[in-house]
A and B are shown apart, each in its own frame.
Chain A
Amino acid sequence: LSHPSFALAIALLLPMQPARADEGAQLAATCTGCHGTNGITVGDALPSLAGQPKAALLASLKAFKSGERSATVMTQIAKGYSDEQIERIAAFFAAQKSQPKAGTTGASGAIRDPAAAGASAVPPGAGS
């Protein structure tokens, strides 16, 4: 039972072998509460991260981290990540498609837009 190949054999017998979320995907997922699944951002208050050039994303993140670029939240968040982690996050968002596939992402019709629904509380610029 202790032979390594036995464990391997059992693993190969598993009825499924799911894909995995690599570390870049998992790190990027810490951003997507504000920036949308896979960096496809809803609304126009923030730019979409998906498909932006890696160099541009990296430059922004590093400038937030150093404080060279000012922000309300991102200067505080960027300081929580190592340069290596920032590199992986930038690479992940750069590799995403900039437009959502119909019906498969958070930008789909399931999410009602309060601005479009006529709510008066959304400040100018927050709606789409």
Chain B
Amino acid sequence: MNRRQFLLHAAAGAIVAAPSTGSGQGASGAAKVLVVGAGYGGATAAKYIRLWSDGKVEVTVVEPAARFVSCPLSNLVLGGSRKIDDLTLDYRGLERHGVRVVQDRVEAVDPGKRRAQLAGGAALTYDRLVLSPGVDFVWDRLPGMQKPGARDRILHAWKAGAQTTALRAQLEAMPDGGLYVMTIPPAPYRCPPGPYERACQVAHYFSRSKPKSKVLLLDSNPDVVSKGPLFKKVWQERYGGIVEYRPGFLTVDVDAGARAAISELGDQVKGDVLNVIPPQRAADIAVRAELADANDRWCSVDFLTFESTQSPNIHVIGDAIQTAPLMPKSAHMANQHAKVCAAAIVELLAGRAPNPRPMLTNTCYSFVSDKDVIHVASVHAYDDAKKTLLAVSGSGGLSSAANELEGVYANSWARNIWADSLG
């Protein structure tokens, strides 16, 4: 397609979509973007489409939750130094940008009619759809977790909120001398350093309040997936005798009654508290819309626009995508996907070509105690020849060691990315 055809295509799309503005969604004539999910990705996309279109594009967000609960920092709730309310925000900031926030769930998408069906009965039309649905769990890989009551007894706490506070309560109820067991799924999963940060937080809590208790990590992966040497040093130096790390333990089933993880070799490991982080894939709505083409799990996108390779006019951002090399599934990355996608959508709706040179950054902080932090950072640029985002050679890196200054920066990061995404 040359530029002229592209313009025609884009213009025709806008005209075809025009009659749908009679559905009562807003002022007639404006282009409409529907965003599914108001986490770090969806909220940022909604806000930046409003900002960068000067308020000329109508943006509606559909989000099942009444409030936003941050996954980053939620391990500190398990460690005891934060409360879930500290990480809970409302969506009024988005509304101040003119974003319409609808508390509902998108059940199905009709790409031909550019229409989304909501659980509550309404249907919303769009010119472009942004899916930022996050992850769902591949429960059929853990048959025991499909039994009645299993998921109430064995928690994941991998979506922050009620699961997080419930797991904290299990840790508090555990007698001193108990064993906390965490299973880690095969990569890729949401937040690569997250399980190892969680191990530090639980060990921090035990070291203060239950010094005879232990943490056992059963990792499906052959080694620590992120910040490995830094985490191992912390476990050895700060939490020696508390944290035990067992790589290559592929959890294939769970005995919820016995609180036991079962490996592919038939090994059973019981805990007083068992925390199963299940295998993950793009959330249900992306799978149902037939966008999860990569291993039937993740959604491939064009990295210039984050438009799905499977369905035109549908963009996918955040943890649900098939990532580019060295790109983590992180909150910060979702915020960055959202901005590339928002800028591209504003251009496409105006019949212009998107920026051919998008850039992204990532910074992931991990708390190894209530104060001390380590980070990993990277910069990614679009590569024309390979048509993907690649880490820029010579950039990025890790902390040299855990330190309190980065604890200050990590808290500052949280406040600023919350403001940038939701405020």
Instruction: Decide yes or no: A108 and B423 within 8 Å by CB, A16-B57, A35-B416, A72-B399 being known contacts.
Output: yes
Q: Number of B interface residues, CB 8 Å?
A: 83
Instruction: Decide yes or no: A19 and B419 within 8 Å by CB, A2-B4, A72-B406, A126-B411 being known contacts.
Output: no
- Name the residue on B nearest A7 (C-beta): B7
Please determine whether B423 and A105 come into contact, CB atoms closer than 8 angstroms: yes
- For residue A121, give the distance in angstroms from its CB to the closest CB of chain B: 4
Please determine whether B355 and A23 come into contact, CB atoms closer than 8 angstroms: yes
Which of the residues A20, A35, A46, A121 comes within 8 Å of B81, measured between beta carbons?
A121
Q: How far is the CA of A31 from the CA of B377 in the complex (A)?
A: 12
Binds A, one of B89-97, B151-159, B277-285, B315-323: B89-97
B412 within 8 A of A: yes
- For residue A2, give the distance in angstroms from its CB to the closest CB of chain B: 7
Q: Quick one: which of A44-63 are within 8 Å of B by CB?
A: 45-46
Instruction: Decide yes or no: A79 and B392 within 8 Å by CB, A1-B8, A37-B420, A45-B409 being known contacts.
Output: yes
Please determine whether A20 and B350 come into contact, CB atoms closer than 8 angstroms: yes
Please determine whether A36 and B420 come into contact, CB atoms closer than 8 angstroms: yes
Q: Quick one: which of B37-73 are within 8 Å of A by CB?
A: 48, 51-54, 56-57
A66 within 8 A of B: no
Which of the residues B8, B411, B418, B420 comes within 8 Å of A45, measured between beta carbons?
B411
B366 within 8 A of A: no
Q: How far is the CA of A7 from the CA of B369 in the complex (A)?
A: 60
Which of the residues B29, B350, B415 comes within 8 Å of A43, measured between beta carbons?
B415
- Name the residue on B nearest A75 (C-beta): B397
- For residue A17, give the distance in angstroms from its CB to the closest CB of chain B: 6
- For residue B415, give the distance in angstroms from its CB to the closest CB of chain A: 5
Please determine whether B96 and A11 come into contact, CB atoms closer than 8 angstroms: no
- For residue A49, give the distance in angstroms from its CB to the closest CB of chain B: 11
Which of the residues B12, B29, B81, B375 comes within 8 Å of A120, measured between beta carbons?
B81
Please determine whether B14 and A110 come into contact, CB atoms closer than 8 angstroms: no
B339 within 8 A of A: yes
Q: How far is the CA of A28 from the CA of B350 in the complex (A)?
A: 22
Please determine whether A33 and B350 come into contact, CB atoms closer than 8 angstroms: no
B166 within 8 A of A: no
- Name the residue on A nearest B412 (C-beta): A45
Please determine whether B412 and A43 come into contact, CB atoms closer than 8 angstroms: yes
Which residues on A sit within 8 Å (CB–CB) of B7? 7, 10-11
Please determine whether B30 and A16 come into contact, CB atoms closer than 8 angstroms: yes
Q: Quick one: which of A1-46 are within 8 Å of B by CB?
A: 1-2, 4, 6-7, 10-11, 13-21, 23, 25-27, 29-37, 41-43, 45-46
- Name the residue on A nearest B346 (C-beta): A18
Binds A, one of B219-227, B294-302, B357-365: B357-365
Q: How far is the CA of A126 from the CA of B416 in the complex (A)?
A: 12
A83 within 8 A of B: no
Please determine whether A14 and B350 come into contact, CB atoms closer than 8 angstroms: yes
Please determine whether A34 and B413 come into contact, CB atoms closer than 8 angstroms: yes
Please determine whether B11 and A14 come into contact, CB atoms closer than 8 angstroms: yes
Q: How far is the CA of A73 from the CA of B422 in the complex (A)?
A: 24
- Name the residue on B nearest A115 (C-beta): B411
Which residues on B sit within 8 Å (CB–CB) of A4? 4
Which residues on A sit within 8 Å (CB–CB) of B28? 15
- A residues within 8 Å of B by Cβ? 1-2, 4, 6-7, 10-11, 13-21, 23, 25-27, 29-37, 41-43, 45-46, 72-73, 75-81, 85, 103-108, 110-114, 117, 119-123, 125-126
Taking A107-B419, A123-B408 as given, write out 17 further A-B residue pairs in contact, using a Cβ cutoff of 8 Å, ordered by the A residue number: A7-B11, A10-B7, A11-B11, A14-B351, A21-B51, A23-B355, A34-B416, A42-B412, A43-B415, A108-B419, A108-B423, A110-B93, A111-B418, A119-B86, A121-B81, A123-B411, A126-B412
**25 chain-A/chain-B pairs, Cβ below 8 angstroms:** A4-B4, A13-B11, A14-B350, A16-B30, A16-B57, A18-B52, A19-B56, A21-B343, A29-B48, A30-B361, A32-B416, A33-B332, A33-B361, A33-B413, A37-B419, A37-B423, A46-B416, A76-B379, A79-B394, A81-B379, A104-B96, A111-B93, A113-B415, A117-B85, A120-B81
